[in-house]
Amino acid sequence: MNQQDHIHEPEPERPGGGRARSRRRWWALGLAGATGLALTTVGVAATPAAKLGGDHLATPNDRSAGSEHRGDDRGQRDDDDKREGKKEAAPKGTPVPCDADALIAAITLANARDGAVLDLAKDCTYLLTADIDGNGLPAITAPITLNGGKNTTIERAAAVDEFRILAVDTGGNLTLNKLTITGGQVTGDGAGVLVNAGGALTTKDSTITRNIAESGDGGGIFNAGTTVVTNSSVSRNTVDQIGGGIYSTGRLDIVKSQVDNNIAVNTGGVFAQGLTMKEGSISRNQALTVGGLFVVGGVGTVVGTRVTGNTAIVVGGIAAANGAQLRLRHLHLTDNTADSAGGLFVRGGVAVAESSAVIEDSLIMRNTATSVNGGGILNEGQLVLRRTKVTENQADQGGGIYNEAIGTTSLFSTKIVKNIAVTDGGGIFNDGGTVNLNTATGTIVVKNRPNNCVNVSGCSG
C-alpha cells in the first residue's frame, strides 16, 4: 500500500483576529487494488480566543459559594443519597429572552465575567443572521452553560451569509443542555460546533443536525480539544471531506447517543484519533470510504453499541488504521455494506503501523462486501475474537472473515456460521496469513457456503 503525507505550512494570522490554521494533515482513505486501502494525513484548525466585556451574570462561582453553605445543612447527605442514580438537573441561571441579539449579548457578557449559566426560552428558535468572525454566536472563551428546554433551537437563517453556529476557543468550556443546533453552513471545519485545542464541549440531551461543512471536516462537530456527547443525537450533517457527524483529533467520549444519517466523502459517522463510546449507535451513515466509524491511531473503545446500516465503497461499518487499537465489546455490527470489508477492516502492512482489534461478546451479522472480500471482517493486522458470533455475512471470498497474508486472526469460543462466499471460503478465507481457531475453547466453523474454510488448519468442509 502506498502512504502519502501532505503537509501544509501554517498560515499567518489575519488582522482583526481571523483564524490562523496550524499545519493541516489530511487522512484520506481510498481503494487500492482489489482489497487494499491507501491512507494519507489529516489535520486540525485553531482559533485564537477573544475576551469581551459587560455586566454581571449568574456564574459558576456564584453557584459554588451557595453550594458550600448547603453542604453544611443537616440531612444533606441523606438528600444526596436519595438523588443518587437520578438524572442530574441542569443548573439554573440567567434567563435569556427569545431573541438572537439578546443571546449574543448574554454570551458576550459571560465571556467577560469568566462564565455564566444561561437559561434560554422554551418553544423558541434563536434565528441567527449575523456572521461574527465565522460564527453565528460569539466564540466561547469561558465556562458557559446554555440550558434549553422543550423546542429550544439555535439556527442559522437560510438567506444569510454562511457561518457555523458555535466555536469554543482555548479556555472555553461549553455545555449544551436540551438544545438543537442546526443550519450551520461554513467553508471550513465544524459547521455545527467547532472545538479548538484547549476548548471543551459537553452536550446533554441535545441534537446537532442538518449542518453543512464545505471544504472542511466535521459536519456536526469538529473536535480538537475535549468533547463529551451524552444522551444526544448528531444526525443528518454533511461534509465534503472527513467526518460527516463528528471529526475528532482530541479526546472524544460518546455516551448513550446516536450518530446517524450523516454524509461525507471520508467517514460518514465518526472519524477519531481515539475515542470511547458506550451504549449508542452509529447507523445509516454514508461515505465513499468508511461508512460508520474510522479510528486512526490511538485506542478506540466501543461498548454496548450498534453499528448498523452504514454504506460506503471501501469499508461499510468500522475501520482501524495507523496503529489504532480497537476494543469492541457487546457490539452489534450488522447490515453494513461496501465493495470490500462490509463490517470491519483492520489495517496492517510493512510500511504502516499495524492496527489491532479485540472483539468480545459481540454479533457480526448480515454485512456484505458486494464485489471483493471480507463480508464480515477483512483483516490485515492483529484480530482476536472471543465469545463472538459471525453469521449471515456475504462476500466474493471470505464471507465471514478474509485474512490477508500479513494478518493474524485468533478465535476463542467463537462461532462462524451460515456465511456465504460467491466463489470460495464461506466461513474463513486465509490468504497466506495466520488463523488460529483454538477449537478446544469451543470455536466452531460450520454451515457456511460453498465451504467453511480455505487454507485454515483444523477446519473442514
The secondary structure of the chain in percent helix, strand, coil, rounded to multiples of 5, reads 10, 40, 50
Residues 82-133: tens digit of each pLDDT: 444 455 666 789 999 999 999 999 999 999 999 999 999 999 999 999 999 9
Alpha-carbon torsion, ordered 267, 230, 298, 191, to 10 deg: 40
- Of the candidates 160, 301, 311, 286, the one whose C-alpha atom is nearest the C-alpha of residue 235 is 286
pLDDT at position 100 is 98
CB 237 within 8 A of CB 192: yes
Tell me: pLDDT of 59 over 50.
Answer: no
Q: How confident is the model at residue 29 (pLDDT cuts 50, 70, 90)?
A: very low
Residues 399-420: tens digit of each pLDDT: 999 999 999 999 999 999 999 9
Distance CA 365, CA 416 (A): 10
Task: Give the residue with greater pLDDT, 60 vs 165.
Answer: 165
Query: Average model confidence (pLDDT) for the chain?
Result: 86
CB 268 within 8 A of CB 245: yes
CB 140 within 8 A of CB 112: no
- Scanning 188-268, the segments in alpha helix (DSSP H) are none
Tell me: pLDDT of 23 over 90.
Answer: no
What are the residue ranges spanned by the domains of the chain? Answer: 94-454
Tell me: pLDDT of 41 over 70.
Answer: no
Tell me: pLDDT of 62 over 50.
Answer: no
pLDDT at position 180 is 99
CA distances, 99 to each of 52, 95, 163, 202, 224 (Å):
20, 11, 18, 24, 30
- Of the candidates 386, 456, 370, 455, the one whose C-alpha atom is nearest the C-alpha of residue 420 is 370
Residues 303-327: tens digit of each pLDDT: 999 999 999 999 999 999 999 999 9
Tell me: pLDDT of 454 over 50.
Answer: yes
pLDDT at position 86 is 52
Q: How confident is the model at residue 460 (pLDDT cuts 50, 70, 90)?
A: confident
Residues 275-312: tens digit of each pLDDT: 999 999 999 999 999 999 999 999 999 999 999 999 99
pLDDT at position 350 is 67
Task: Give the residue with greater pLDDT, 130 vs 68.
Answer: 130
CB 328 within 8 A of CB 353: no
pLDDT at position 68 is 35
pLDDT at position 90 is 65
Tell me: pLDDT of 336 over 90.
Answer: yes
Residues 344-380: tens digit of each pLDDT: 999 997 667 899 999 999 999 999 999 999 999 999 9
pLDDT at position 130 is 96
pLDDT at position 10 is 33
Q: Which CATH architecture has domain 94-454?
A: 3 Solenoid (2.160)
Mean pLDDT of 208-217: 98
Tell me: pLDDT of 65 over 80.
Answer: no
Q: How confident is the model at residue 55 (pLDDT cuts 50, 70, 90)?
A: very low
> CA gyration radius for the chain?
24
Distance CA 313, CA 351 (A): 24
pLDDT at position 88 is 62
